[in-house]
Structure 1
Amino acid sequence: MKKYYLLLCLLVSCVQLLSAQSLAEKTKGLQKFSGFFPFYWDEKGGRILLEIDKLDQEVLYVSSLPNGVGSNDLGLDRGQIGQTRIVKFVRSGPKILLLQPNYKFRALSDNADERNSVEQAFAQSVVWGFKAEAQEGNRVLIDLTPFLLRDSHQIGDKLEALNQGSFRAEETRSAVFMPNTKSFPQNTEFEAVITLVGKAKGREISSVTPDPNAVTVHMHHSLIQLPDAQYQPRAFDPRAGYYAHEYMDYATPINQPIMKRHLVRHRLQKKDPNAAVSDPVEPLVYYLDRGAPEPVRSALLEGAAWWNQAFEAAGYRNAFQVKLLPEGADPMDIRYNLIQWVHRSTRGWSYGSSIVDPRTGEIIKGQVSLGSLRVRQDFLIAEGLLQPYEDGKPTSSEMLQMGVARLRQLAAHEVGHTLGLYHNYSASTKERSSVMDYPMPRIKLRPDGTIDLSDAYAVGIGNWDKRAILYGYQDFGPQTNEAAGLKAIMNETLKDGYVFMADADARAVGSAHPAAHLWDDGANAAAELNRLMDVRRKLLAGFSEKALAPGQPMAMLEEVLVPIYLLQRYQVEAASKEIGGLYYTYAVKGDGQTITQFVEPAEQWKAFEALMRTISPRELVFSEELLAKIPPRPINYGRSRETFPTRTGLTFDPLGAAESAAATTLELLLNPQRAARLEEYHARQTAQPGLAAVLDKLLQRTWHSKPETGYVGQLQLLVNTLTLQKLLALAAAPTAPANVRALTALKVDELKTWLQKEEKRTKDEARKATLFAALRTISQFEAAPEKFQPEPALPMPDGAPIGDTGCEGF
């Protein structure tokens, strides 16, 4: 026993000796990096030893993905910013915990007990735990390496959720990446090469990795000094067009809202706040990725710089600047607001993200990611519009001009997000008043029938954007009451007729606002749909191999044809919102805005007629001359999600293309939410179109219309069949209210009676077969309405971003 006791004492002494080592002894011979957090590089051991001289001091921690996966579908792009957190290192004996306080719930009070009561009421999070390698007073040394070599971006979880396989970070194939591991006075940056290993099973991950079972990326970690307390949060207003920073303040008096909301925005002040025009104390400077080639580089620099127009209108001089990223600068460095050019294997969204102080909503860094394939899609659309490849004639430069024009607008749009601005999807109905809308290229017909793209995309910042920047960034100075100044700005904005409508009011297919939509144009959705259909008809009538560059396989004509045949797709969605539509605003009590208002019945019926035009067999037809020029796909040019789905095997399927287009119109028209509103609004105001009237007119324009023959007749039978399927889907929809299901079922029963009569007297075999199949489908529905599932229609090829892009989604 005595021996064991002596051995134990010896072990304890050794542990005490090790723990008593000074920082200097522990880091002897290691490369030191001074800065915000000093650290040491142990090259022999491949370790980062972090010196913590800021115990219990809150700092900002941001993780990011400097080297991505390269697939839009997987959403793991180069430069993607991860979660932004406030953290602090706290010590408990030999352990050091990286603790994340809970800033969602606070008590902004001078009473410490009141603050503590809230802090103790809600959970906090320990992000990671460390063992002290050495200690000297309030300075502690920890091994940061395991923290850096983990899957901090949760790529494994994301890939598994997307059915791409099960992956985990493997330490033996991961290492610190020293070229991007640095320390500066206000921020310390770490980067690691991380390899996630597993068993891949998804097509997407296999398409972008040399070995899909070993996915190697870079992950970056930033420890950043928090901004000083001089930033003044600005009260959020739902009409102003900004993202909101929210938290609950339990020290709020009972007669005031406990939820606090402030604008998300940069810090910007005038040197002379009393001057009408002043230089800023410190300008907002954005830096462009050096990897963007010309003419992309110039377009992005120009488009992003448009925002200076808005800041000039707010009384700033040279407050917003755009420059090329300095050579050798780290794009992940917190000091640089960044516009980066991101490559993927397929076209996809661009987006604007920000690193935001969780305490105040202050934007610390804006970061824009622009998909590089975006310009190629605009170029392809322009090829279809202009069909410029004619033997013996020079190729027009208009395609490139259109693509570059969109890039300028795209850069401005995404930078707008990083200034704190939300999408404004009603701007297209008021003179394209905001770059924060999703713009459809404005395509005009000249008197001679040729296409005019000179006004495809707007140039410069919009008037709504100027009003929004004025609200968010005006420096009122000490002589002006800020609340009164903001109210005056908003009153003027409303007086000028500007309305802000965000994503929730525009994206859902069943949404109701007639002016809130993506990728639309024009003050009136129905009128613009008819105009686009005129343009589309002209384009399809003359569509030929002149849309293909010399040397391209003729089958590739389909890629150029898709956006032309579906030119109306987004305007169809916009026009559908007129039917059962409700105009409304984010009105605040007493601001004088229209709160809610039904769409006029006459406008709804105009929209209905415009929608019916899009499913007319004579609008869905392809010419025989065009069909003869689209052969099956040659080897190595397979079908993709950019081409039409087909039911005819290798050959181009004109009926399949028509099916996907017509089905989309019918799905939008017969959306359960829209149907419910039609019934509600008709009950409240009889002049409003009711569901019964809409269904009767739909059946008159489809099943009850005069039978056609030949190719057009086949299209007519197709549209009729789709109409029945969508009617039955509505009658069986669990989300539709009982009155909608009942009324739709009644109309189906009336159609059944008509079908039975028609089946007996028709002589045309194809029509008789369609009538027979329709009756059989109705019988299946009647047997079990609650279980009925109509046959799905062929989907449209991928659209958004078609001619455009998406955020956070766009």
Structure 2
Amino acid sequence: MKRLSVLLFTVLFITATGFSQDLPSISEKTQGVEKQEGYFTYYWDDASGKIWLEVDKFDTEFLYVNSLAAGIGSNDIGLDRNQLGDDRIVKFERRGPKVLIIQPNYSYRAITDNPKEKESVRDAFARSVLWGFEVAAQNEDAVLIDITDFLMRDAHGVSERLKSSNEGNFSVDKSRSALYREATMNFPKNTEFEAMLTFTGSDPGGQVRSVTPTSDAITVRQHHSFVELPDDNFEPRKFDPRAGYFGISYQDYSTPISESLTKRFITKHRLKKKNPDAEMSEPVEPIVYYLDPGTPEPIRGALLDGARWWNEAFEAAGYKDAFRVKVLPDSAHPMDVRYNMINWVHRSTRGWSYGSSVVDPRTGEIIKGHVLLGSLRVRQDYLIAEGLLSPYKEGETFDEDNPMLEMALARIRQLSAHEIGHTLGIAHNFAASTNDRASVMDYPAPKVSITRDSTLDLSDAYDTGIGEWDKVSVEYGYKDVSNLPSKEAALNNVLEDAIDEGLLFISDADARPAGGAHPKAHLWDNGEDAVDQLHHILDVRDIALENFSESNIPQGSSMAELEDALVPIYLYHRYQIEGTVKLVGGQDYSYKLRGDNQSGPEPVADSTQRAALDAMLKTLSAEQLTMPKRIVELIPPRPIGYYDSRELFNSHTDPTFDPIGAAETAAAMSAKLLFNKERAARLVGSEARDSSNLGLGDMLDVVIANTWHKKSSGGYKGAVQNTINHVVLYQMMNLAAAENASSQVRAVTNFKLEALREWMRDEAENRAENEQRVASLLYGYRTLQQFKDKGEMFMPTEPLTPPPGSPIGSDDATFLQCSYSY
């Protein structure tokens, strides 16, 4: 056996030696080829269209980032210009004639001095080999590999994205793809490559057809960055759920048994004071962001203004001029990892803006902040202002004083600050709008005031400057505590003081309307009292609809475009109902830690829940949802050249405008929120603990009394009320048959539906006021009879769905690298 081992070793040695002797040197292989020195030296072979990479850093980890430099331009597909992709720590490793690019597994570690303990954890969990290369030439301490195929592959997952979006089956066509020399660059600490890739395929979807000149050939550019990892002088900061930061986490298997295996740290930029002992000091290196030079004025100025608000927060944390914003020089590339970027991105339809980051997964250090701002958002805010103000009176011009433009620019300033906040590591704070606008990290609705003469005032639509909570977040994340005796105590005091001052932090999942329970954390709302705000919003809506006329569109516009301006006004209450409904079955709570100064969870007061339910019922009334006839008579069908879009109401009466369909849409929004299965279960539990509390049966009784049991007025308003009633019936049936709803929720809802069914027949036969009412009651009865017989197998036609709404200014997945959306 020993002789066999020696023989095998000899064969392998001779093979490797022979292979090595057959290889040319790097200088021989690259003779006559352009050399580019930098972090990784590469060679550009113009004749063959190849890039040769000189690898002289084996087993040295670096950061690999892929991104999309030129996109597709469809919000729905989600492949935008300058979009970040994955970032990974990788290293080159040589195995005989091959060089492998390997991604270690940083989710599982052993932070210890014992190399064997580290090795045991490393070998317990899989690594990933991203690519393999053949060695083409070598010197004593370096090898040459052809990296072209690695750069020309679909690293960003364009094909997968198109397929998952039902936009067709596409793959890279190498004959129509090439390396993109203009954005292939080298620098001392980063090497940048770019490739122009053409995807060809079949069955292109509607979105692809709408944004490509030839729909079976989609050409984009993908960017690749090889980046030197930061040094070891960054000090990770402990994650605290009260501080409002995104974070990294990993399992440390060297942790003592008495401590948590999972380690959590926030994501943040590196920032230190030149003088840590000074109350105010310049930073060692400031944080600098660069604005996309393709941004036009006056938007450019607004984005710069909003971005610079963050310097207020850093000043409050003891830094002088630590946060700076400039316009990107023409010589720089936005995907160069050295530049924190604010990108102005065009799409064919409006959609979210994003704040993403390139993060060192070892420590949480943010290496590159990267903002994508959708350019159509400013136009949506302008449209909302037009709908509110009906500004285009005869002879009215807006050469200088333009309230619509001022509101839109105010929103863009706030949006700029918000997305940059994400790239500083800061999460959404959806409780800020109920806390005196305490943070730019909320989703703000335009604040509209009603003057004494019942006109609408937009002068305070959006806040100016950074919020008090934002200063707390920056102080926790960036305060220099290097010279303090107890760093952890100092940071804890920052949060305890904020809590004592009444500042509240509640983030994403707790603020979402579908099943959400928190009474103070909402999206697109204003004011401390959600019920009062809903009444106010409905008053604003009434005034805007009362004033709605041809003055809502400029002279020379197609009258059919009045519907574009009408949609956000008729549905103006759509976001405030999301906040108000959360009071029903709601619970007030915080991200409390053991021993801190926050109170424990408490149910929303029963009186508040009932007031919220009453306010929601206003949005299920014909009085609120009947469209004024004069508005209906203003809007003709779309003329030639003006096509329907998803921004308009869905309709039963195409091509004509459908006011009853609009009421159906609005009613469905409110009813669906009320009859959420988690909310219903909380009501069941609340009543079980105290019979005087609002329960699910009580809520259903109140809704039925204010819809189906309501006396019918006949005519147009009666038709609207009948439509509302059937929407309520649909959503109750949906709740009664809801998958995974609790048995008690289904039991109570089915019990109320059975009583309603029997009442409908009796009402139709004995007390219905008119034929329209009789027809509606009998249809409801027969629908419930079929539902009783067939159960969840039978459901009537779903109500019309609303046009895209969120984001103000069309629905966030939100995690680091991740893309925080807004």
TM-score band, normalised by shorter chain: over 0.9
Aligned in 2, Cα 1:734/1:13: closer, same or farther, shift over 3 Å? Answer: closer
- The match for 1:285 among 278, 284, 288 is 288
Alignment of 1:163-242 (within 5 A): 163-242=166-245
Match of residue 32, structure 1, among 35, 40, 44: 35
Matches within 5 A, 1:115-130: 115-130=118-133
Structure 1 Cα separation of the partners of residues 773 and 711 of structure 2? 12
**CA distance, structure 1, for counterparts of residue 392 and residue 613 of structure 2:** 38
Partner-residue secondary structure (3-state), 1:87? strand
The equivalent position to 2:444 in structure 1, one of 439, 442, 445, is 439
Aligned equivalent of 1:520 = 525
Please name the residue that 2:5 is paired with: none
Is this contact kept in 2: 1:72–1:347, CA < 8 A? yes
**What's the Cα RMSD here?**
1.4
Indicate the residue corresponding to 1:648 in structure 2. Answer: 653
Partner amino acid for 1:301? L
SS in 2 for 1:784: helix
Indicate conservation of the 8 Å contact 1:540/1:565, yes or no: yes
Q: Structure 1 residue 688: deviation in Å?
A: 1.9
Distance (whole Å) between structure 2 residues aligned to residue 462 and residue 18 of structure 1: 67
- 2:551 alignment partner, one of 540, 546, 549: 546
Among 782, 788, 799, which residue is 1:782 paired with? 788
Match in the other structure for 2:164: 161
Please list the CA deviations of residues 715-755 of structure 1 after superposition, one character each: whole Å capped at 9, or x if unmatched: 11111111111111111112211111111111111112211
> Unaligned regions of 5+ residues in structure 2, if any?
1-14, 815-819
- Partner of 1:40, secondary structure, is strand
2:733 equivalent in structure 1: 728
The answer (yes or no) to whether the contact 1:441–1:803 under 8 Å persists in 2 is no
Residues 688-733 of structure 1: CA deviation (Å, up to 9, x unaligned): 2011111111111111112112111111111111111111111111
Contact 1:667 1:726 in 2 (8 A): yes
Instruction: Specify the SS of the correspondent of 1:625.
Output: helix
Counting aligned pairs with the same residue, the percent is 50
For 1:275 and 1:107, the matched residues in 2 are separated by 37
2:50 is aligned to 47
> 1:245·1:262 contact (CA, 8 Å) conserved in 2?
yes
Secondary structure of the residue aligned to 2:643 is coil
- Output the amino acid matched with 1:532: I
Q: Aligned pair 1:385/2:401, yes or no?
A: no
Deviations 1:242-270 (A, max 9, x none): 00110000000001111000010000000
Please, which of 639, 658, 662 is the counterpart of residue 667 of structure 2? Answer: 662
SS in structure 2 of the partner of residue 569 of structure 1: coil
- Answer yes or no: is 1:768 the counterpart of 2:774: yes
Letter in 1 for 2:540: V
Q: Which of 76, 82, 92 pairs up with 2:79?
A: 76
Q: Identify the match of residue 416 of structure 1 among 415, 421, 431.
A: 421
Conservation of the 8 A alpha-carbon contact between 1:274 and 1:476: no
Distance 2:685 2:55 in 1: 64
- Asked if the contact 1:64–1:219 (Cα under 8 Å) also holds between the matched residues in 2, the reply is yes
1:7 aligns with none
Cα distance change of structure 1 residues 777 and 13 upon mapping to structure 2, 3 Å threshold: closer
Aligned residue in 2 for 1:8? none
Local SS of the residue matching 2:821: coil
Letter of the structure 1 residue corresponding to residue 84 of structure 2: I
* 1:39–1:50 Cα contact (<8 Å) kept: yes
User: d(CA) in 2 for partners of 1:400 and 1:121?
Assistant: 59
Distance 1:784 1:490 in 2: 56
Aligned pairs for 1:503-582 (under 5 A) are 503-582=508-587
Cα offsets for 1:645-671 (capped at 9, x unmatched): 000120000000000000110110111
Report the Cα distance in structure 1 between the residues aligned to 2:473 and 2:22, rounded to whole angstroms.
57
Tell me whether 1:66 sits opposite 2:72 in the alignment: no
Q: Distance in 2 between matches of 1:310 and 1:775?
A: 61
**2:26 is the alignment partner of 1:23:** yes
Q: Which residue of 1 aligns with 2:695?
A: 690
Q: Which runs of 5+ in 1 are unaligned?
A: 1-11
Match of 2:821 in 1: 809
Separation in 1, partners of 2:292, 2:396: 37
CA distance in 2, matches of 1:787, 1:498: 49
1:795 to 2:798 alignment: no
CA distance in 2, matches of 1:306, 1:419: 13
Farther-moved stretch of structure 1 (514-523 vs 84-93): 514-523
Cα drift, residue 530 of structure 1:
0.4
Query: Counterpart of 2:263 in 1: which secondary structure?
Result: strand
For 1:422, the aligned partner's letter is A
Q: Number of residues paired by the alignment?
A: 799
Q: Partners in 1 of 2:336 and 2:107 — Cα distance? A: 27
Do the aligned residues in 2 keep the contact of 1:350 with 1:805 (CA within 8 Å)? no
Kept in 1: contact 2:513–2:579 (CA 8 A): no
State the secondary structure of the residue aligned to 1:299. helix
Residue type at the aligned position of 1:809: S
Deviates more, 1:364-373 or 1:393-402: 393-402
Q: Give the SS at the match of 1:493.
A: helix
Does 2:763 align with 1:758? yes
Letter in 2 for 1:159: L
Instruction: Describe the SS at the equivalent of 2:443.
Output: coil
CA shift, 1:686, in A, is: 2.7
Deviation at 1:594, TM superposition (A): 1.8
The amino acid of 2:726's aligned partner reads: T
Match of 1:469 among 448, 469, 474: 474
Cα contact 1:19–1:134 (8 A) shared by 2: no
Take 1:253 and 1:789, find their aligned partners in 2: how far apart are those partners?
56
- Counterpart check, 1:296 vs 2:302: no
Quick one: distance in 2 between partners of 1:685 and 1:26?
83
CA–CA distance in structure 2, aligned partners of residues 695 and 97 of structure 1 = 64
Contact 1:200/1:212 (8 A) holds in 2: no
Question: Which residue is equivalent to 2:817?
Answer: none
Deviations 1:611-660 (A, max 9, x none): 01111101111112111110011112111110000001200000000000
Deviation at 1:15, TM superposition (A): 8.4
* TM-score, normalisation: structure 1: 0.97
The normalised TM-score by structure 2 is: 0.96
